Amino acid sequence: MKYFHYNDEDSITCLLCKHYCTLKKDKHGICGVNFNIDSKLVNKTYGHPSALHIDPIEKKPLNHFLPSSSSLSLGTVGCNFRCPFCQNYSISQTSVIDESVTYMPEDIVAMALEHKTQSISYTYNEPTIWYPYAKDIGVLAKEKGIKNVFVSSGYESREVLEDMPSWLDAANIDLKSFSHDYYKKVLKTDLDGVLDSLVAFAKSRIWLEITTLLIPDVNDSSQEIEKMAEFIVTKLGRDVPWHFSAFHPDYKMLDTPPTPMATLQRAKEIAKSFGIRYVYLGNVRNDSSTYCPKCKIKLVDREGYEAKIVHIKDSKCTNCSEHIAGVWQ
């Protein structure tokens, strides 16, 4: 795909996310890392990851995608959101790039092969803003039989959403709130743009899971959770796994208390009442195993980030033959 649109000799339009920033010569967009250099879009983080780790896939979190497998995870710097609760703010809310650290796409894939990870995850900061780097890694990874995972806030451009199915296998997308005002005034983006992205992911071949960080007195009311649940059921489908994560004070929200366990349990009950079949709680100690929605037998046994498939074969429950949505091998 083309990553920018040429306007005139003075400006281009970035096509990576829904901000569609117009960039004058030598200027950057909202993300702080994509520049107009000689009338071309230049992603200055290309080849310069700020974080590189091997994680369990459950940490993304993805519970219905290759359970117990490991994923080579990387991030860069910058973001197209302004979340005051970001736990990775030290890299997401800066545009300072350490150019002394260089890993080209072939280096990342070689590392994944060396460590025998089944996937590569583009995460830690918003990967949409470094999509050219991610895709170049992903295409090479796909050739080697390695799967690709996006962990994103869901503000991809229409052009990127159309391109992703050619190489991406799974995504976990944040649904941070169901308030248009909160997205606009606090996060500096648009809720409808995220909802449109979620629908596009759900319609594609890319496996989708959703995460909502529940923040006390921000997005944790029963009414707001019900609105999110209704959207998921009617627009995405009840088989899309939904993760509710507990908030811990960080960045600009140090005075906000952690999410009570009771709030998480209430959210799970609401989601289940709307017919969502797979609901999980994150950042807290709890039973995170997967159960058959029909016969209730344990399908995937989880303890922390360790997982073992016990009753799934050919995407079916071995006890009652119910289809279990996911990518299991």
From the candidate CATH numbers 3.30.420.10, 3.10.20.30, 3.20.20.70, 3.40.47.10, the one assigned to the domain spanning 45-286: 3.20.20.70
Which token pair is 154?
A: 């869901």
Q: How many CB atoms lie within 10 A of CB 24?
A: 11
Average confidence (pLDDT) over 202-216: 98
End-to-end CA distance of the chain: 30
pLDDT of residue 289: 97
Q: Nearest 5°: CA angle at 69, between 328 and 90?
A: 120
What pLDDT score was predicted for residue 47? Answer: 98
pLDDT 10s digits, 85-129:
999 999 999 999 999 999 999 999 999 999 999 999 999 999 999
Token pair of 108, please?
């990342």
Percent of the chain exceeding pLDDT 90 equals: 99
Tokens of 53: 């780790």
* pLDDT at residue 128, as a whole number: 98
- pLDDT averaged over every residue in the chain: 97
The count of other CB atoms within 10 Å of the CB of residue 7 is 14
pLDDT of amino acid 126: 98
The three state secondary structure string of 97-166 is: CCCCCCCCHHHHHHHHHHCCCCEEEECCCCHHHHHHHHHHHHHHHHHCCCEEEEEECCCECHHHHHHHHH
Q: Are 328 and 67 in contact (CB under 8 A)?
A: yes
Q: How confident is the model at residue 20 (pLDDT cuts 50, 70, 90)?
A: very high
Residue 11: what pLDDT?
A: 97
Question: pLDDT digits over 244-261, tens only?
Answer: 999 999 999 999 999 999
| Burial call 159-181: b when 16+ CB within 10 Å, e when fewer | bbbebbeebbbbbbbbbbbbbee
Backbone angles phi, psi at 148, to 5 degrees: -125, 140
CB of 134 within 8 A of CB of 76?
no
Cα(32)–Cα(43) distance, integer angstroms: 10
% of the chain residues with pLDDT over 70? 100
pLDDT of residue 199: 98
Task: From 59, 37, 21, select the one nearest 302 (Cα to Cα).
Answer: 59
pLDDT value for 249: 97
- Domain coordinates of the chain in residue numbers? 4-42, 45-286
Q: How much is the pLDDT for 127?
A: 98
Mean pLDDT of 41-57: 98
Confidence of residue 39 (pLDDT cuts 50, 70, 90): very high
Q: Give the per-residue pLDDT at 301.
A: 98
Helices (H) then strands (E): counts for the chain: 8, 18
**pLDDT for residue 61:** 97
The 10s digit of each residue's pLDDT in 280-294 is: 999 999 999 999 999
User: Does the bond joining 49 to the residue before it have cis omega, within 30 degrees of 0?
Assistant: no
The SS3 assignment for 247 reads: coil
pLDDT tens by residue, 304-317? 899 999 999 999 99
